[in-house]
Amino acid sequence: MLLLLVSFFNPYAGIAGLVATVIAISVSHFTGLNKAFIQKGNYSYNALIIGIGMGAIYNFSIAFWILLTFIIIFSVILSVVFQNILGKYGLPFLTIPFVLCFLLVLLVTNVFEAIDFTYRNIYWMNDAYAIGSSYLVKLIMYFDRLEMPALLSTFFKALSSLYFQNNVLAGMIIALGVLIHSRIIFSLIIIGFLTAYTFNNIVMAHPEGMNYYLIGGNFILISVAIGGFFIIPSLHSYIWAVVSVPITFIIVMALGRITGQWGLPVFSMPFCIVLLSFLYFFSLKIQKGRVVATPLQLYSPEKNLYNYLNNKERLQNINHIRLQLPFIGKWMVSQGYDGNITHKGDWSKALDFIIVDQELKTYKNYALHVEDFYCYNKPVLAPADGFVQQIDDYIDDNAIGKINQQKNWGNTIVIKHAEGLYTKMSHLKKHSFKVKVGDFVKQGDVIAACGNSGRSPEPHLHFQVQTTPYIGSKTFIYPLSYFVSENNGKEIVQEFSIPQETAIVNNINHNPTLKQAFEFLPGFNLTVNAEGMEENKWEVFTDAYNNSYFYCHTTKSFAYFKRNETVFYFTSFDGDKYSLLYHFYIACYKIYLATEPAVAALDKFPLQLSKNTLSKWLQDFIAPFYIFSRLHFESLNKVVSNDFLNPSVSISTKQVLQFLSF
């Protein structure tokens, strides 16, 4: 709102900008361009700046409006053209259409006699009188004459030039608006400005070579774009932001020399050149993780950063094929990854499982026979859906204490879950296989029984993940999706991790009620009520990329979610922060579809959801370098009624803002 106010300091510019936008949108619709892009303003933002620019420097006349119309049409065409050329490289087209169109305008208006420059800019006080009486003029004059260091006044004027203004008050309002909108942008503006100022002091450019517009439109913008907008804000992005300013400075000066021949300014062309080359450079060269291009533009560096960090932590396993433990009930990891019995060399990333009793014994009676061992002949399950790739089923069980080094894997099954993802289970019991090569198995199907064949002195189950389909392939580090792990009598749920040696582990028992309650299929309609709030209508949709989301028809909000066999969780929310859907998003951020063990589901929100303004602002300023606060989420399911046919479960959730230092 503040920024909008500023642009109407010059009402003519504002009107022309508005008209230009309307024209651009109409043209886009008329030609049938992508509606989503039109709605996002992809084809009209260049038109808006052209409109503002032209409105600010020309007198309104019939010829002016006709010229504006055709220039805007051309800007839409250029937008589409550059969008497609640069889009192939994953680059934005920025304000290239504006720069080109405006250069055109400036060049032709010299020869179009019907269009003449306005003197409003010179007598801008008249306008100010017209809009806001003498008080406004006095106010503006007051700030312009306010005693302040040249550095500050230059800074504010440079900012105001972003909106084709040239006064301190507008700059201050913009600065305030930016500060409220984004602390990161604010810091980058200052960094950009100071770098340019310092560089200028060193190289000492001719004073006439510099103007406020060049500072605002290029140096400040490039700093913001590289430091926090197109790149996820970080120490690296800030360093590159500083580097980008002198380079832009050089290009501004160099290009200015060329365009100056025809009396033309360079506008934001240097900004476009530097930004595009930097972004393309980053996408090619820089080590992954140091400089990260904003994956989904949320138009706020804070949101971009917090969402990026949050997603990196939460959603990194979203596309993993989920493997479960290949057995029923509680088993113990007798040898983990890099175990010192046999998990060595190429075969080090494997897991051995056995069953133990309360005294951690693996057998009953005197352990003379394989049948005395608890795990012997117990069902072995498919860890995930897949095709049976290979089976060896001809090796006899060893007597206890003996091993078979000829056929060291024993009876074995290899299942193919995807290209390059296989699981292998070994030492199985001869003739216990329930499937044959080529069969499709579903996750949890019984495939064989635990045995004592191969290099196995006592019955146990060997499990490994591998990237090639052979028995004997080397192992591959790959996590199990969700499982319960018991260590020292305490049960925890582990997610996408590797069970540790001596942990007692089991698959999560899903609660049918919760599974059913969180089954939201596309087309599902809900009418939602809450005390003191109006009734909302929600519908579940699935988009072209197979992402499911709730859409609230009442408040036009979106909440994207995922649901697998173990967890329901939201991935993002967009829309009204006071809607019921937002409350649902916050309350059901992550829910285990299970009640045993009674363990809380833990998660973290992106920090922009924090309600504590003071800590949030502090955090925003230093967020690119250090995150000191966390917004925790916790949900706990409690069985209210044990009725196994019709059980009811209550879910309680809470959010906690935590500071590391306190």
Partner 1 sequence: MSKLKYERPLIKKLNAGMMNKFGAQSECTPVTHIDGVSVKSIIQKYGSPVFVLSEQKMRQNYKSAVRAFSTRYPKVQFAWSYKTHYNNAVCRVFHQEGSWGEVVSGFEYRKALSNGVPGSNIIFNGPDKHAEEIKLAIENDSLIHIDHFEELYLLIDLCAQLDKKARVAIRVNMDTGIYPMWDRFGFNYENGQAWQALNKIVESGKLQLVGLHSHIGTYMLSTAAYGVAASKLCDLAMNSKSQLHTTIKYIDLGGGFPSANTLKGSYGNVPTPSVDEFAEVITTTILNYGFKTEDLPLLILESGRVLIDDAGYLLGSVLANKKLSDGRKATIMDFGVNIMFTSFWYDHKISPAQEVSQFNEDTVLYGPLCMNIDIVRESVNLPLLNRGDHVVVHKVGAYNMTQWMQFIAMRPNIVLIDTNNETHIIRQAETLDYLEQLEVIPEHLQKK
Kindly list the distances between the CA atom of residue 123 and the CA atoms of 32, 61, 144, 239, in Å, as whole numbers in the listed order: 43, 19, 16, 42
Least spacing, CB of residue 412 vs partner 1, in Å: 21
Kindly write down the DSSP assignment for every residue of 152-185, as one continuous string. HHHHHHHHHHTTT---HHHHHHHHHHHHHH-HHH
Q: Binding-site residue total for partner 1 (CB under 8 A)?
A: 26
Kindly list the distances between the CA atom of residue 476 and the CA atoms of 162, 460, 473, in Å, as whole numbers in the listed order: 54, 20, 9
Q: 529-535: which pairs have CB atoms within 8 A and are 24 or more residues apart?
A: 530/580, 530/583, 533/580
DSSP 8-class letter at 546: S
Residue closer to partner 1 by CB (options 214, 448) is 448
Residue closer to partner 1 by CB (options 85, 598) is 598
C-beta neighbour count of 134 within 10 angstroms:
11
x/- mask, partner 1, residues 308-327, rule CB under 8 A, reads -------------------x
The vertex-52 CA angle with 48 and 53, nearest 5°, equals: 115
Angle of the 62-87 helix axis to the 11-31 helix axis, nearest 10: 60
First CA to last CA distance, the chain: 37
Does position 445 bind partner 1 by CB under 8 A? yes
**Closest C-alpha among 115, 102, 128 to residue 10:** 128
Does position 516 bind partner 1 by CB under 8 A? no
Beta carbons of 387 and 415 less than 8 angstroms apart:
yes
Residue closer to partner 1 by CB (options 12, 327) is 327
Least spacing, CB of residue 27 vs partner 1, in Å: 55
Residue of 29, 364, 556, 577 that binds partner 1 (CB under 8 A): 364
Does position 141 bind partner 1 by CB under 8 A? no
* Residue range at the interface with partner 1 (CB under 8 A); choices 213-221, 420-428, 457-465, 643-651: 643-651
Least spacing, CB of residue 478 vs partner 1, in Å: 23
Helix, strand, coil in percent for the chain, rounding step 5: 40, 25, 35
3-state secondary structure of 38: helix
Residue of 346, 357, 534, 535 that binds partner 1 (CB under 8 A): 357
Does position 646 bind partner 1 by CB under 8 A? yes
Does position 599 bind partner 1 by CB under 8 A? no
Does position 645 bind partner 1 by CB under 8 A? yes
Least spacing, CB of residue 448 vs partner 1, in Å: 12
Does position 385 bind partner 1 by CB under 8 A? no
Residues 6+ apart with CB under 8 A from 263: none
Does position 379 bind partner 1 by CB under 8 A? yes
What is the residue whose two structure tokens read 């996750």? 443
Does position 642 bind partner 1 by CB under 8 A? yes
Residue closer to partner 1 by CB (options 260, 329) is 329
Residue of 260, 295, 329, 522 that binds partner 1 (CB under 8 A): 329
Residue of 287, 319, 358, 525 that binds partner 1 (CB under 8 A): 358
Residues 6+ apart with CB under 8 A from 448: 379, 380, 411, 413, 425, 428, 429, 432, 433, 434, 435
Residue of 242, 375, 591, 593 that binds partner 1 (CB under 8 A): 375
Does position 661 bind partner 1 by CB under 8 A? no
Least spacing, CB of residue 370 vs partner 1, in Å: 13
Residue of 331, 433, 561, 582 that binds partner 1 (CB under 8 A): 331
Beta carbons of 237 and 287 less than 8 angstroms apart:
no
Does position 431 bind partner 1 by CB under 8 A? no
Residue closer to partner 1 by CB (options 205, 446) is 446
Least spacing, CB of residue 644 vs partner 1, in Å: 7
Residue closer to partner 1 by CB (options 576, 596) is 596
Q: Token pair for residue 549?
A: 């989301």
C-beta neighbour count of 240 within 10 angstroms:
20
Does position 434 bind partner 1 by CB under 8 A? yes
Least spacing, CB of residue 359 vs partner 1, in Å: 9
Does position 442 bind partner 1 by CB under 8 A? yes
Does position 597 bind partner 1 by CB under 8 A? no
One-letter-per-residue 3-state SS of 350-407: EEEEECCCCCCCCECCCCCCHHHECCCCCEEECCCCEEEEEEECCCCCCCCCCCCCCC
Does position 427 bind partner 1 by CB under 8 A? no
The vertex-308 CA angle with 304 and 313, nearest 5°, equals: 155
Residue closer to partner 1 by CB (options 181, 330) is 330
Residue of 198, 468, 641, 650 that binds partner 1 (CB under 8 A): 641
Beta carbons of 14 and 173 less than 8 angstroms apart:
no
Question: Virtual CA dihedral for 249, 253, 258, 264, nearest 10 degrees?
Answer: 90
Contact positions vs partner 1 (CB under 8 A): 327-331, 355, 357-358, 364, 374-375, 377-379, 434, 442, 444-446, 509, 641-646
